[in-house]
Chain A
Amino acid sequence: MSDLYQALGVVFGYEALLLTFLGTLAGIIIGALPGLTVNMGIALLMPLTFTFQGMGGILMLLGVYCGAIYGGSISAILINTPGTPASAATVLDGYPMALKGEAGRALGLSTASSMFGGLFSAVALVVVAPQLAKVATGLSAPDYFALGVFGISIITSVSSSSVIKGLIGGCIGLFIATIGLDPMTAGMRFTFGSYYLMGGISFVPILVGLFAFSQALLGIEENWIERRQPGGARKVTARISRLLPSWADFRRVLPTYLRSSVIGTAIGTIPGTGGDIASFISYTEAKRWSKHPEEFGHGSIEGVSAPEAGANAVAGGAMVPLMTLGIPGDGATAIMMGAFMVQGLSLGPLLFTEHPVEVNTIFIGLFLANLMMGILGFSGIRIFTRVMAVPRQILVPIILVLCAVGSYSVNNTMTDVFVMMIAGIFGYIMLKLDFSMSPIIIGIILGPMAESNLRRALTMSDGDFSIFVRSPVCATFLTIALLTLFLPIVGPRIKAWWRLRGGNTAGDPSAGV
């Protein structure tokens, strides 16, 4: 117990509180700027932490971590551009809500769900960390493959307008992911002798191009049309009636919060997966279980809540393998590992017995960072939504500049800026053809995971495919994946067939799952 009191003393010290606050604030800003990701934010602030004595620096990094995951949702909702890959799924329903004049409601819900997800995973970390650690080491290559396939199968349910266009988008994403070195044989694929392409096309420039740059091009086009026909201006109002979500809203999304938080914590625990995957899976599961699946894609309050709760729950989950095994759960925690070691904390099974005070400090710090993130978020909503009132002639150039800066900063190379622009023009054409961007993103994120684990599993089994049905985890995920993939295609036909057969119309599309 004295460890706990000591830890409380550390976290609620004057300097530690200030550092956590500054870290969270910096994180939200980094997250909200397109192109600057969670990992980059932590890597940028990491050298600073060397100068602080004790746990202050680590608390600051926890703040950055939590703040940046949340910050991405602000630009996702307001300008249709995910600030970080983890918020790519928030765009799907966040921006439609903002267009309906509900930006405040959307931000309120996403802030509440971010905070809920973060706090949930912090509780999970404290209570069941040793059990969760088994998840991290229990999965083998076939299970990872099944998880990847399950993630990819989501494509059909996030492409509401046309399943075929969604599948085309998914294939484009999978193709982009194959460029570069073959992960298993180290052979070259589609590199055309270019050393840049050898490392694969960077993900962040593509993300920024597809979402932000294409959106800016659309803005330019709309502006041009408006100028030619005065009076046709589309005005989006963003009146804010309240900051906190209403009780009715909260009651409706609470199951979504819980489900997404569980998904996010579990995904965070698995090494090599992170917020981007968790948010998409949370989104699909929210749609699958929702009583109003038809609202998804048109401004569903569950749709805006699910990805945020899932992405923020990754934070606590990713700390599990880091602290209990010394193996980072995602890219951000991999960088944080260095900061822990500077403080003399040898991460791994011995951490809990050798450094109980520090462990408790991290636990409490994670709670505090999530609370501060919520407080900063709610108090900032009014300021954030002003973005909606900025005239397009001013907003679009700012977005274009941010796109270029963000893409350049990934690798410090102009090539990425050109990649971003090409992706942006491509995205603009896709938008005009009524394609959605999410399937492409899902393909890029999950393609490498599915591919390398498929081949790794087959290497392990000497080419024997039965390895995929021997593991119960793998078989279950593959079955769910098949259902997820084909239900949106076959489901309506079965329903129509039932109706023809004589009227059993009670069939709910989600009842079969």
Chain B
Amino acid sequence: MLKTLGLVFCGMLALGSVSASAQEITYPKKNITVIIPKNPGGGTDTSARLTLEYAKKYLPSGVIFVPENKPAGNGVTGLIEAARARPDGQTLVMTTVELAMFPHQNKSPVTYKDFTGLFAPIADPCSIVVRADSPYKTLQEFVDAAKKQPGELQVANSGTGAIYDLATINMENQLGIKLKHIPYSDGIGPAIASLVGGHVDAVITTPGAAKPQVDAGALRILGVMDSKRFALFPDVPTFNEALGAGTNTEMRAWAAFAAPAKLPEDVRSQLDAAFKAVAADPEFQEAMKKQGIVPGDMVGDDVDAMMKQDHELYGKLIAESQKAQ
């Protein structure tokens, strides 16, 4: 009797430890370096650090994540360093959508092929924002106006060749319109200030960046470039919904954890399981929402697929934009 009880007890213990070790990361023998190729305090950095904060409980005791910001050379030097690190899971990196763009612009020798995608805590769609008192109430009205006066409407973005600029080009291609690109290379903040002040007609950015102004009724989002609506603004239509089928653009500003390519399968599955648990953690989701970020849930192969898809999309867009010049 005692024996059976003991067996059952042992079994329960074993089961318990199995269910606990499902997301346990057991491979690291020393601290895991996480390269963040962006400045401390920005969106990429914040989401990376928040994720690590909730992932660290799955590490063996005595081992921690060590985030290192390496923003030199627009972050490319950090990406190169991570791509060349040994693929043993001791070095991770926070890649961004720029990894899908820079190789086509001769700005980066490394591409998505040099990395193993793990987890994308952010993938916000691009959106088009106008002033609340502007004559364009809907995306259709904006497009009609742009058709009537080609090259007249001023659309601000965060720098030529950056994602919001490419989103503008994508819009032009898909809708057959011509817009005037006004690059604000010092960031999207000044571009939004300029829109609020009425110096430009529209800004392309993520919906989160315009949230304070939209909530206050100063700005209006006309549409998001995604296949589904954005969780923070469920009333804003997608481009597809606003303009009819055939304008199914997907432009997402994402940031994703990755490891060097050729990561051993057992290391990868441990990291994937841990990140999957983080993505499902309600506390993590709450913390991300507080930062104005809609928490992403893409893990593992999905991340690889997104990286590849965007690499091809941006390759095409950038080739077209360079032909146009």
Interface residues of A (CB under 8 A from B): 39-40, 42-44, 46-47, 50, 136-141, 181, 183-186, 188, 194-199, 202, 271-272, 321, 325-328, 334-335, 338, 341-342, 344, 346-350, 411-413, 415-416, 448-449, 452, 456, 459-460
Q: Which residue of A lies closest to B74 (CB)?
A: A199
- Residues in B with CB closer than 8 Å to A413 are 70, 72, 77
Assess the A327–B189 pair: CB atoms within 8 A: yes
Q: Which B residues have a C-beta under 8 Å from some C-beta of A?
A: 39-42, 46, 49, 53, 68-77, 80, 105-109, 154, 159-162, 180-187, 189-190, 192-194, 196-200, 211-213, 215-218, 287, 290-292
- Asked whether A327 lies within 8 Å of B192 as measured between CB atoms, the reply is yes
**Cβ–Cβ < 8 Å partners of B212 in chain A:** 325-326, 346-350
- Can you identify 21 A-B contacts, CB atoms within 8 angstroms? A43-B40, A50-B53, A137-B196, A138-B197, A183-B186, A186-B162, A195-B80, A195-B109, A198-B107, A199-B71, A199-B72, A272-B189, A334-B187, A335-B40, A346-B215, A348-B212, A412-B68, A452-B183, A456-B184, A460-B182, A460-B200
- Which residue from A44, A202, A349, A449 sits with its C-beta under 8 Å from B213? A349
9 extra interchain contacts, Cβ-Cβ under 8 A, other than A338-B46, A349-B212?
A46-B41, A184-B183, A199-B75, A327-B189, A327-B192, A327-B196, A452-B185, A456-B183, A460-B200
The answer to whether B72 touches A415, judged by C-beta atoms less than 8 angstroms apart, is yes
Q: A186-B160, A341-B291, A456-B182 are in contact. Are A195 and B77 (CB under 8 A)?
A: yes
**A334–B41 touching, CB < 8 Å:** yes
Main secondary structure of the interface of A (DSSP, over half): helix
Task: Indicate whether A342 sits within 8 Å of B291 (C-beta atoms), given known contacts A184-B183, A195-B80, A325-B213.
Answer: yes
Contacting pair B183 A139 (CB below 8 A): no
CB-based contact A137/B197 at 8 Å: yes
Given A184-B160, A338-B291, A137 and B193 touching (CB < 8 A)?
A: yes
B190 touches A272 (CB 8 A): yes
* A46 vs B159: C-alpha distance when bound (angstroms): 28
Residues of A within 8 Å of B154, CB to CB, are: 460
Which of B70, B180, B183 has the most C-beta atoms of chain A within 10 angstroms of its own C-beta?
B183
The interface residues of chain A lying within 8 Å CB-to-CB of B161 are 185-186
Q: Is the CB of B189 within 8 A of A416?
A: no
With A199-B73, A412-B70 in contact, is A183–B183 under 8 Å at CB? yes
Given A40-B40, A185-B160, A195-B76, A411 contacting B69 (CB threshold 8 A): yes
Task: Please measure, in the bound complex, the distance between the C-alpha atom of A269 and the C-alpha atom of B243, giving whole angstroms.
Answer: 39
A272 proximity list for chain B (CB < 8 A): 186-187, 189-190
Residue of B nearest to A191 (CB): B73
- Is A195's CB under 8 angstroms from B196's CB? no
**Chain B residues whose C-beta falls within 8 Å of the C-beta of A449 in the assembled complex:** 186
Asked, given contacts A325-B196, A456-B182, whether A344 binds B290 with beta carbons under 8 Å apart, the answer is yes
Give complex CA distance A452, B217 in Å.
30
CA distance A193 to B215 in the complex (A): 45
**In the complex, what distance in Å separates the CA atom of A137 from the CA atom of B40?**
26
Known: A186-B159, A338-B46. A327 touches B72 (CB 8 A): no
Q: Assess whether A327 is in contact with B73, with CB atoms less than 8 Å apart.
A: no
Say yes or no: B70 contacts A140, CB within 8 Å: no
Q: Which residues of A contact B213 (CB under 8 A)?
A: 325-326, 348-349
B197:A197 contact, CB within 8 angstroms:
no
- The smallest beta-carbon distance between B37 and chain A, in angstroms, is 10
CA distance A172 to B184 in the complex (A): 25
Select one of A42, A196, A349 contacting B41, CB under 8 A: A42
Q: Which residues of B contact A347 (CB under 8 A)?
A: 212
Which residues of A sit under 8 angstroms from B189, Cβ to Cβ? 271-272, 327-328, 334
List of B residues within 8 angstroms of A50 by Cβ: 53
- Most chain B beta carbons < 10 A, residue from A338, A350, A448: A338
Q: How far is the CA of A452 from the CA of B39 in the complex (A)?
A: 21
Which of A327, A346, A349, A412 contacts B69, CB < 8 Å? A412
- Which B residues are CB-close (under 8 A) to A460? 154, 180, 182, 199-200
Q: Which residues of B contact A184 (CB under 8 A)?
A: 160, 183, 185
Given the interface contacts A40-B40, A43-B40, A459-B180, does A198 sit within 8 Å of B74 by beta carbon? Answer: yes
CB-CB under 8 A from A136, the residues of chain B are 193, 197
Which residues of chain B are within 8 angstroms of A328 by Cβ–Cβ distance?
A: 189
A51–chain B nearest beta-carbon distance, Å = 10
- The residue that B193 contacts in the complex, of A188, A325, A334, A346, with Cβ under 8 A, is A325
B190 CB, nearest partner CB in chain A, Å:
5
The interface residues of chain B lying within 8 Å CB-to-CB of A415 are: 72, 77
Contacts of A139 in B (CB 8 A): 197
The 5 residue pairs across chains A and B that have the minimum distance between CB atoms: A348-B212, A326-B212, A335-B41, A137-B197, A349-B216
A181: chain B residues at CB < 8 Å are 74, 107
In the bound assembly, the distance between CA atoms of A296 and B213 in angstroms comes to 45
CB nearest neighbor in A for B161: A186
Closest residue to A138 on the B side, CB-wise? B197
* B94 smallest CB distance to A (angstroms): 14
Contact B72 A137 (CB under 8 A): no
- A197 & B73 in contact (Cβ 8 Å cutoff): yes
Residue of B nearest to A140 (CB): B199
**Nearest chain B CB to A470 CB, angstrom units:** 13
- Residues from chain B with a CB closer than 8 A to the CB of A140 are 194, 197, 199
Asked whether, in the complex, the Cβ of B72 is within 8 Å of the Cβ of A350, the reply is no
User: Which A residue's beta carbon lies closest to that of B185?
Assistant: A183
